[in-house]
Each structure stands twice: as C-alpha cells, then as structure tokens.
Amino acid sequence: MFAVNSETEANPTPGGATPETSRAQIETRDLHLHYGPVHVLKGISFDISRHTVTALIGPSGCGKSSYIRCLNRMNDFIGGTRVEGQILIEGADICGPGVDVIDLRRRVGMVFQKPNPFPMSVYDNVAYGPRLFGEKNRDVLDGIVRKSLEAAALWDEVRDRLPASGTGLSGGQQQRLCIARAIATAPDILLMDEPTSALDPMSTARIEELVRDLRRSFTVVIVTHNMQQAARIADRTAFFLLGELVEYDDTLKIFTSPDDKRTEDYITGRFG
C-alpha cells in the first residue's frame, strides 16, 4: 500500500529537468515519536516524492502536525521529546545528533496555521532569512525579495508598500507573506500546517492556487482538516489515526475508494 510514488507520476520540474535521482525525497522509516510518556507517532513509514503535494489528514490529535514538525526538527523545542526511527531527506538521516538543524530549517521551510509576520516591514520580513544566512548585498536581497513575493503571488499587491509593516496586510496577504518568507531561503521542501484555517474562502482559494504552483519548485507537505482542500490540491494523501499511518495513496483513490475501512469511515464523516 505504501508504494513509492514513482518520479514519472510527479510533476516535471520547470524546463522539463529530471530530478537527479529516482529516490524519494523524504523517506520515513518506522518513525516513533514520544512526548514524555505519550507515544505520539507509532511506526510511521512512507515516501514522499519530489515536486508533489502531499496532504496529511486525520482527526485532531492523530499525529499529523507532530509528524511534519519532525521534518524540520521543530519538536526539538519541546522538552521530553524522543524520536526513534529514521527520516531521510535526500538520503541523509535528519534525526541524528550531528545534523545542522539551522541548515535543515533553511531547506525545509514552514508555514503555520495563523499568519505570523514579524513586526517589521514587508521587505524585511522576506529578507530576514537570507540576512540570517549572511546575505548582505542589497541588490541580491532586492532580487530575492521580489522573486519570493512573486512566487507567493503577492508582489503585485505589495510592490508599492514594501516599507510598510507586514502586520498591516490582510489575513490572506499576511499568510502569503509568510509563504514568501519561507521561500526566500530557497528551501527544497515546504511544510504547511493548516495554512488556510484562519482565512476567508477567497484568501483560501488564492493560497490553494499558490500551493499548486509552488509544486513546480518545491515539495509541499500540507496538514489540513479540510478534506475538500486535500482533494483539490494534493497529489497524494496520507490518513493518520491515533499516531498511525492508516493509508497513503493517490488522493483520488483515498477520497473515492480507500482500501481501509477506517479511512472510509473518516472521510464519510462517521467519526472525527
């Protein structure tokens, strides 16, 4: 059931370039996560291919957010966390002690549920990451800011107000600013934890459209409670329940004829 999504199924990268290897970009092997005495993830194993959108669905507390927080070691901030098993990104284990976590977080960006722009200008929000990684050249920074805002479909709306505060933008614009900020460090993978749950339907539609576009340049892993959203934007969908990965398959399959009865019961609203 947990077949590797072959690269031929994934969307081609811009210009038709083929990925360097046929190996999955994110390989999760028997991952267990404990928060103190609580066993949060119980033996998760699956592969995520490059340039795909993968949706993680499941009822609250099923472990989907905990899982994506493993992908950029965000759980390190929580005391008493213990991780067993492996997550290989581009073949290298990211769970071990010798990992450069700062570099990992540059390569694996994250967008949160509530838009959280820094209390600084639109420009500085986007330039923050590149500056942190040592970029000082103003022309280079200008280029990165513009490119990132364009990729986040926000440039046209803010090009004349780059010095204005990021917190003055609308909710949907703020979330796109956060996406631009995440993109600015040129990550390979974008994690999104319910990025539209605090937004109105129009802003949600813009973000969804954006996610589909972002797939050309990034691998997107998105947690969502909205199953229609998963059906609209994801290539593959993983259903988590009580810390286990119940089913992982093509999105269409998951939402029309899943193999596991628990998946069927969840998507048809019998629980959750």
Partner 1 sequence: MAETGTRKQLEADMSDLKRMVLRLGMMSGDALSRAVRALEKGDASPARAVIDGDDELDDLTERIGEGCMAFTARHQPLGQDLRTVVSIIHIATDLERVGDYGVNISRTVLGLEDRPLLKPLIDIPRMAELLLEMLNRALVAFDVGDAETARKLFIMDEQIDALEKQVLRELITMVLERTERLEQAFMLLNVARTLERAGDHLTNIAERVVYMYTGKMARASDYKTPRGRQ
Judged by CB under 8 A, does residue 93 bind partner 1? no
Alpha-carbon distance of 269 to 163, in angstroms, equals: 46
Judged by CB under 8 A, does residue 191 bind partner 1? no
DSSP letter assigned to residue 2? -
Select from 25-33, 180-188, 203-211, 264-272 the region that touches partner 1 (CB under 8 A): 264-272
On the CB side of 154, CA atoms within 13 Å amount to 29
Judged by CB under 8 A, does residue 256 bind partner 1? yes
Q: Which amino acid is at 63?
A: G
Select from 31-39, 134-142, 196-204, 225-233 the region that touches partner 1 (CB under 8 A): 225-233
On the CB side of 23, CA atoms within 13 Å amount to 11
Count of residues that bind partner 1 according to CB under 8 A: 15
Q: Which CB atom, from 21 or from 268, has the smaller least distance to partner 1?
A: 268
Judged by CB under 8 A, does residue 267 bind partner 1? yes
Judged by CB under 8 A, does residue 252 bind partner 1? no
The continuous run of DSSP H or E covering 31 comes out as strand 26-35
User: What does the DSSP assignment read for 178-227?
Assistant: HHHHHHTT--SEEEEESTTTTS-HHHHHHHHHHHHHHTTTSEEEEE-S-H
Select from 19-27, 75-83, 171-179, 227-235 the region that touches partner 1 (CB under 8 A): 227-235
Residues lying near partner 1 in the complex (CB under 8 A): 227-228, 231, 255-258, 263-265, 267-271
